[in-house]
Structure 1
Amino acid sequence: MGTIDIAIIILYFAVIAGVGIYGARRATNSEEYLVAGRNLSLFMYLGCLAAVILGGASTIGTARLGYEFGISGIWMVGAIGTGVIFLGIFLTKKISQFKVLTISEMLEKRYNKETRLVSAIVATIYTLMLTVVQMIGIGSLLNVWLGWNLALCIIVGGGIVFLYTILGGMWSVTMTDIVQFVVMTVGVFLLMLPLSLSKAGGFGALTTGLPSGFFDLGNIGGDRIFQYFILFTLGMMVGQDMWQRLFTAKTPKVSKYGTVAAGLYAYAYAIVLAIIGMCAFIVLPNIEDSQNVFAEMAMISLPPGVLGLVLASVAAAIMSTASGSIIACSTLISNDIVRRFFKSNISDKNFIQVSRMTTVGIGVFSIVCAIWIQDILVALDVAYAVLSGALFIPVIFGLISRKVNARAAFYSIILSAAVILGGLAILGITATEPIIYGLVVSFVTIILLSFIPSKKADNEAGMKVG
């Protein structure tokens, strides 16, 4: 990269860090620190939600899939968009009834404290792995841009995100996400797409130069498309990072319409990134590592200055999702485990300190895992496999039915999580079968145990839903 591009990226990182530090001034209590005071307007909410769902895997992963499979590379992010739309249409009204900070806290209101604990553990595994995904993503980009060792790039990129997240919590995340949403929209839609098409010779060159299968929406394979919808559509509906953003909306109406709009934005983002990957197939037919498709395409397609802005937009997409998953993971541990089971009388000020210390621990752990795994799509599969298979059934049943009891929810989460993790260990971490087995076990457990009388009517005290 030229000097001007490096300067733009450094300036962008400095602005993001500055905005995040400024946001720390508003984090005066736990509600402000964890859910931005539940006060976001429609535009702010839309920008933050879109930014958090479209991160490193969505950007780098979709360009990679477009390079390998053509337009059917949209299905990973398409499944994410579908889950977000379903969440907005079917669940936001019910979720808004619960004045809570986490999905696990809602499960305690609906079931009991044991269910809260096991669900918090499962959701923590998911958010940790999601954070690892973003660390790999930003490390991969810096590796291509600067030529540094990947491990060093992960440490540097991750450190910037952790700095502003630790200081300001959700307000810092929110303020930086607004900037990042604008930057990623301009960089990907208005700059990278047209310039990539120009470099490849236009749409005409794509139709004549690409294999015919690249224009088939099913080219990636029906089994893989099914896997994406099982992983991401279900996962989006019960993810703590998603729910925590819902809690920041000013009104249920803002939550509903902003969520649906973010899902539609995800579909547009998927199409654009897949086309960029298809352009790269023309321009870079023998790329060594397809995970670097987007970054390499940007390096050869964009003029100085524009290159720096576009690469900053990709960094924006990754950093926004990373900060969202970090704060979600920190909230689960500090609110649902530490405060609920170990320090129930902790002051608000000390609770914020615990949250910040937890965030530091998450940062160190996720960077180490990212250096170890180094494959963005593999890490994403593990994250959503555990979330979708273990939590989807008890959460959805808890929202729509009063007949499911606490015992059923507790054992549903325990047994399905064990089946999923065991299946991934035996069949491989990219296998779909463990998720299906986990969902079946979860469903059967819920049905059977809900109709077996328990000694305590745990669910009678649950909040009225339905």
Structure 2
Amino acid sequence: MHYLDVMGLLAYFILLGYIGYRSVKKVNSSADFAVAGNKITWPILFATLAASFLGGGASMGRAGQAFDHGYAFMFAASAFPIATVLTGIFIAPKLKRYIGAHTVGDIMEQQFGRYARLITGIFSLIFCIGILGAQALAVGTVFNAIIGIDITTGILIGMGVVLLYSTIGGMWAVIQTDVVQFLMLAIFMPITLLIGINEVGGAEQLIARLPDSHFSIMGDYGPGMFLSLFIAFLLGETLVPPYTQRALAAPDSRNAKIGYTISGVFGFLFYFVSSTIGLIALILYPDISPDLAMPELIRTALPLGITGLVLASLLAVVMSTADSYLNSASVIFVKDIYQGFINPDVGEKNKLWIERLVNLLIGIGAVVFALYATSIIDALLISYSLWAPTILIPFVLGVLLDLKCSKSAIGAIIAGALVTIVWKWGPWDLSGMTGLSALVAGVSANLLTFTVIYHTFKNSRATSLVTKNS
């Protein structure tokens, strides 16, 4: 890479470090570390949310899947921005009625009792580390493809920077860097697309040189596979801890609603951009690995001096998701597990330092996960199976309908987890036998169990215990 490109990349890293340094002065309490003092208005909320969910999967992962399957994967994955818009309209405003809440576990305890909080904290923590590992793998892939260093070294460099600013600056640093990263991806990803279209001879040539199947809604997916993917993206990342945390950081329900909804609308546009970049790479570099589609286009097609900035924007896309999940995981551990069940009387100052220490430890765990993941999308889909079949259904039902039955929530979480584990890792090929993915089977078991137990115990003393325990 030319020295001008290296300088652009170094400037980006220096900026992130400076933001982290400046943010230290704003972090005086656990609330500052977790939800930035509840001062995030909707324009900032929109930028930080968009930057958070448009990570390695939405950029390199979408480009790689479009490389293999055309726009079909984009159509399936569009379920996520659909879910985000619906969440923004119907659920995000209701989250602000939980005064002082920082985590999903805070809300689950108010609806379903303290043991629901503990189970939520454990599953949320595992889920966040899994997604964080996928982003760490994406960081290493970018460094490997464009600079030529091995993936492990790339993971260590990129995650080292994320650990630095997120540990010292907490949510204040995460949100400020997310805004910078959002602006970079909003500028440089479309530039990469336009340059790529020019490289293949224009939009007409792009269409003419691709197989017709790459423009169909389902491509070479069968109906069952397409539906499974659609449901995975519809439910797999909906209201996950970092995104819920963003809504809780808003000052009121109006800001939460507008910021959340607009970020979902933006997702449709970004998915189209990243998928089209994958199709351009298929024409220009048909023999590369799919996950390298976007980095390869950046490395070879962009003019001198622009490559470093676009590389920085690609890293920005990935790192903005990584820092969100890292911050969320540390807050979850301290609030839902440590303070909730180990040391309820921990002081505010000690809690802040514990959050910072846990931030470092979880980052190391995510790096280990990344070294064993086979691909970015595989890592995401594995992690999705830990969220939707366990926490999502009770959480949504509790917030939307104000249901309160601890037995139904805990039973649903356990049933969803067990069915998912058996379906995905059991000795039988249940997906092949039934045509249902592990995620769909787990979500179905979760919803059924919640419904049956709730209607069995809703009028009993068990329901009222939640109010007393909360």
> How does the TM-score come out when normalised to structure 1?
0.95
Match of 2:449 among 445, 448, 460: 445
Q: Which residue of 2 aligns with 1:397?
A: 397
- 8 Å CA contact 1:88, 1:257 repeated in 2: yes
1:459 Cα offset (Å): 5.4
Residue 21 of structure 1: how far off its partner (Å): 2.1
Is the contact made by 1:111 and 1:462 (CA closer than 8 Å) also made in structure 2? no
**Is 1:153 paired with 2:181?**
no
Does 1:10 pair with 2:10?
yes
Structure 1 runs of 4+ aligned residues shifted over 6 Å read 427-431
- In the alignment, which residue of structure 1 is the partner of 2:362? 362
SS in 2 for 1:183: helix
Deviations 1:231-283 (A, max 9, x none): 22223333111100111112211111111110011100000111111111111
Instruction: State the distance in 2 between where 1:220 and 1:321 align.
Output: 30
Aligned-partner Cα distance in 1 for 2:208–2:155: 39
Identity between Structure 1 and Structure 2 (%): 25
Residue 269 (structure 1) aligns with: 270
* Distance in structure 1 (CA, Å) of the matches to 2:260 and 2:389: 23
Shift of 1:421: 2.2
SS of the equivalent of 2:462 reads coil
One-letter identity of the residue aligned with 1:167: I
Moved more, 100-109 or 230-239: 230-239
Aligned counterpart in structure 1 of residue 439 of structure 2, from 435, 440, 453: 435
Summarize deviations over 1:21-77 as a string: whole Å, max 9, x none: 211221111111110111012221111010001001110011111211222231354
Letter in 2 for 1:312: A
Map 1:62-461 to 2 at 5 A: 62-75=62-75, 77-99=77-99, 100-189=101-190, 191-221=191-221, 222-287=223-288, 289-426=289-426, 433-453=437-457, 454-458=460-464, 461=467
Mapped partners of 1:248, 1:132: distance in 2: 25
Aligned pairs, number: 462
Give the distance between the partners of 2:32 and 2:462, measured in 1 at CA: 37
Assess if the C-alpha contact under 8 Å between 1:238 and 1:388 holds in 2.
Answer: no
Q: Which moved more, 1:289-298 or 1:19-28?
A: 19-28
SS in 1 for 2:251: coil
Change (3 A) 1:430 1:359: farther
Query: 5+ residue gaps in structure 1?
Result: none
**Higher mean C-alpha displacement, 147-156 vs 330-339:** 147-156
Deviations 1:125-172 (A, max 9, x none): 111101001000000000112211211111111111011111011000
Question: Is the CA contact 2:72–2:217 (under 8 Å) kept in the aligned structure 1?
Answer: yes
Contact 2:114 2:469 in 1 (8 A): no
In structure 2, C-alpha distance between the alignment counterparts of 1:240 and 1:409, rounded to whole Å: 17
Q: 1:160 to 1:448 in 2, by over 3 A?
A: same
- Alpha-carbon RMSD: 1.9
Displacement of 1:93 in angstroms is 2.0
TM-superposed CA distance for 1:362, in Å, is: 0.3
Q: Deviations over 1:191-246 (max 9, x none)?
A: 10110100111111112111011111221523343223322222333311110011
Contact 2:128 2:326 in 1 (8 A): yes
- For structure 2, which runs of at least 5 residues remain unmatched after alignment? none
Deviation (angstroms), 1:323? 0.2
Q: Would you say the 8 A contact 1:116–1:336 is kept in 2?
A: yes
Deviation of 1:402 (Å) = 4.6
Could you tell me how far 1:423 is from its partner in structure 2? 1.9
Q: Supply the distance in 2 between the matched residues of 1:155 and 1:180 (Cα, whole angstroms).
A: 20
Offset of residue 451 of structure 1: 2.6
Post-superposition shift, 1:395?
1.0
1:428-462, Cα deviation, whole Å (9 max, x unpaired): 89996211221121122112211334553345618
Q: Give distance in 1, aligned partners of 2:416 and 2:468.
A: 23
| Amino acid in the other structure paired with 2:316 | A
Cα distance, 1:378 vs. partner?
A: 0.8
Task: Give 1:425 deviation, angstroms.
Answer: 1.2
Q: Distance in 1 between matches of 2:463 and 2:39?
A: 36
Cα deviation 1:163-184 (Å, max 9, x = unaligned): 1111011000011011101011
Distance across 2 between alignment mates of 1:343 and 1:383: 29
Mapped partners of 1:166, 1:244: distance in 2:
17
Is the contact between residue 408 and residue 445 of structure 1 (CA under 8 Å) also seen in structure 2?
yes
